[in-house]
Amino acid sequence: MNYIALKMLFGDRAKYLMLLCGLTFAVMLIVQQGSIFWGLMMWSQSSISNINAPIWVTDPGIAQVDEVKPITETAVDRVRSVQGVEWAVPLYKGLLRARLANGEYHQITLTGLESSTLIGRPTEVLEGRFEDIVQPDAVVLDQWTVERMGGPSVVTIGTVFELNDKLARVVAIAKTQKSFTNIPVVYTTYERAIRYMPRERRILSYVLAKAKDGVPTDLVTARIREHTGLGAFTAEEFSWKTIRWVLKNTGIGINFGTTILLGFIVGMAIAGQTFYLFTVENLRQFGALKAMGASGFTLARMILLQAFTVGLTGYGVGVGLATAFGVLAAKTGDLPFAETWQLLLLVLVALLTICGASALISIIKLVRLEPAIVFR
Amino acid sequence: MMETHSQPAAVRVRGIVKSFGTGDTQVTVLKGIDLDIYLGEMLLLVGESGGGKTTLLSAIAGILDIDAGDIDVLGVPLSSLPPGKRTAFRGQTMGFVYQQFNLLPALTAAENVAVPLLIQKVGHHDAVRRARIMLDRVGLGDRSDFLPKNLSGGQQQRVAIARALVNEPRLLICDEPTAALDGPNGQKIMELLREVGRSPHRCVVVVTHDSRIFQFGDRMAKLTDGRIVGIEPIMQEDMA
């Protein structure tokens, strides 16, 4: 009977394609929008992932990574003194204006890394040597900064520009994840970053730390909080805190949530309606099968097989199209796109719900069907 | 109205009543029908439209619940069987030929004929093999792989007859089998039903209002206004 069910499904090519298109569209919309949404969330915490440190020590009232609340410089030593901490280094992060030789101004995020270890440096360098950052006036840009400042023809290795009337010379270009605000990032040493910035009473933005091998990171963060009175988070906790802040304080969650919900509803409506029509138009055939001895269970199984076959095909095509879009978008990195297995699983569950609900409507119709319909 | 017969009835209908609708709109379609149908015979149910022929046929087939009365098919009290068992019984003992053929358009002729066997859980390969043999018997062996849309109306009805007979049913139920066909094709279908469908181990019930095919039956029961008003044998010499 499975064979008959599938032949019935594929035989009505117009309806099959309509069903397939509806489900493909729904899946593609949900996966594409979901991936862009998650990509944006990844961007929103890129300051954390680009730095790649296991523990972040902050002002206890901090809301998210880009809202820096400076802490006293003694915090570094206080964190180092906490039991289970292997190392702790300062990190500077602040906004500044860069003036290029052509007279253009650009707002930048200045990131100051501890000079002896360069902890927090990007893992990939596209041009030059990151270690040259210790040279006089040296700074490292990321690829987005180069792009924002006018491209390689304007900014390249050896280019000199001003930061707060002080000289800065590009010695390397690193590869990083784009940030949500897309403000150019300029790396330098912590000591030089302080010189570039106007003097403030508190200048230390964060303390980066790591737990000793064998000591759980969350245990160490708890100890840091307890012993220093500062905020301390694992990188993951700080990322989620930032993402939650973005969701709460911007319209992104509602915007994308609405689109994803619409994709689900449209998919449900198209699939449900088309599948129901498909069943209604085949009622005589189903009635004939029932008259010939096919049980209600057999017919329900046929309907479910049809629904899940077209559903899983639509899922495959929809995910394929969304992934192709993502691969093309990710090539340039200009569009946030993070397709995760969790999203794909969630969409699969949503799709199976759509198919199951559509099939259920048809099954109810069939269960109530009087096989005598075939004699009318 | 009841006739005497030498052997017990394969189908025994007693006092069945069936109404549709409720209250003022209620219509009683069958008003106490008694009928016996015997193995080896082809019984025609005739009468004007709205007389209750198809309703009676549906009740005999066990696909329509009746309000009162009893129907025994091959000794099984059909009206008291639970729906699931009734469906299974129908699949094992009955074959159907419909006015509108009701072939599955996506299946080939052979696959359509194999459907009752597949419902009975016969393996696909074996079912299609038996279906091809059956199609040979109805003269469509060379059309086994054709889709219904590529067959004429008469050929489609032949496929439907092959489908109805493929699992060797003891009761063959035909609802206006010639209504969708022209005169000559209708005659051919009835000849085929008589030749292939009629057997000593099977009874054939045909609902029709087409007087041109009355000659093919063994007996004819006339329904008017929900009642059988006459059951007569048909003289086979009339067929000439």
Joined together, the tokens standing for residue B73 give 């098919």
Closest-CA residue of B relative to A288 is B102
What mean pLDDT is predicted for residues B202-213?
Answer: 86
- Concatenated DSSP letters of B48-103: STTSSHHHHHHHHHTSS--SEEEEEETTEEGGGS-HHHHHHHHHHHEEEE-TT---
Per-residue pLDDT tens over the stretch A313-351: 999 999 999 999 888 877 766 777 888 899 899 888 888
Q: Which residues contact A314 (CB under 8 A, 6 or more apart)?
A: A19, A20, A22, A23, A24, A26, A27, A351
- Closest of B193, B210, B180, B182 to residue B49, by C-alpha: B210
Contact across the interface for A284 and B100, Cβ inside 8 Å: yes
Question: What is the per-residue pLDDT for B131?
Answer: 92
Over its C-alpha atoms, chain B yields an Rg (Å, rounded) of 18
**Residues in B touching A287 (Cβ below 8 Å):** 102
Banded pLDDT at B1 (limits 50, 70, 90): very low
Mean pLDDT calculated for residue range B99-126? 90
Most confident of A76-85, A142-151, B152-161: A76-85
Q: Where does the pLDDT of residue A181 fall: very low under 50, low under 70, confident under 90, or very high at 90 and above?
A: confident
Residues 10-69 (A) with a CB less than 8 A from some CB of B: 10-12
Q: Please state the rounded mean pLDDT for residues A225-235.
A: 91
Predicted local confidence at residue A374, as pLDDT: 66
Query: In this model, does residue A44 exceed pLDDT 60?
Result: yes
- The amino acid sitting at A211 is A
Sorting pLDDT into bands at 50, 70 and 90, what band is B4?
A: low
Phi, psi (deg, nearest 5) at residue A189: -80, 160
A37 closest CA partner among A302, A314, A339: A339
What lies within 8 Å, CB to CB, of A30 at 6+ separation is A260, A263, A264, A267, A318, A347, A350
Q: Which residue does chain B place closest to A3, by CA atoms? A: B124
Residues of chain A neighbouring B119 (CB-CB closer than 8 A)? 1, 289, 292-294, 298
- Site from A306, A375, A376 to mutate, B interface, most B CB atoms within 10 angstroms: A375
* ipTM exceeds 0.95: no
Residue B240 has pLDDT above 60, yes or no: no
Q: 3-state class of B35 per DSSP?
A: strand
- Percent pLDDT > 90 in chain B is 18
pLDDT at B239 over 50: no
pLDDT in tens, B57-94: 888 888 888 889 999 998 899 878 888 888 889 888 99
Does position B222 have pLDDT exceeding 50, yes or no?
yes
Mean pLDDT to the nearest integer, B162-188: 83
What band does B236 get if pLDDT is binned at 50, 70 and 90? low
Cβ atoms of B13 and B60 within 8 Å: the answer is: yes
Domain ranges of chain B: 11-239
Place of tokens 């993402």: A243
Q: Please indicate whether, in this complex, the C-beta atoms of B107 and A7 are within 8 angstroms of each other.
A: yes
Alpha carbons B173 and A3: distance in angstroms, whole number:
26
Helix or strand or coil: residue A316? Answer: helix
- Nearest CA to A305 out of A361, A365, A355 is that of A355
**Minimal Cβ distance to B119: which of A287, A292, A371:** A292
**Alpha carbons A117 and A89: distance in angstroms, whole number:** 9
Q: Which residue of A has its CA nearest to B169?
A: A292
Mean pLDDT of B168-172: 89
Structure tokens at B70: 């009893």
Q: Which CATH number fits domain B11-239: 3.50.50.60, 3.60.150.10, 3.40.710.10, 3.40.50.300?
A: 3.40.50.300
Does the beta-carbon distance from B102 to A12 stay under 8 Å? Answer: no
- pTM, full prediction: 0.73
CB contact (8 A) between residue B90 and residue A10: no
Give the pLDDT score at A79: 93
> How far apart are the C-alpha atoms of A303 and A279, rounded to whole Å?
8
What is the nearest CA distance from B109 to chain A, expressed in angstroms?
Answer: 13
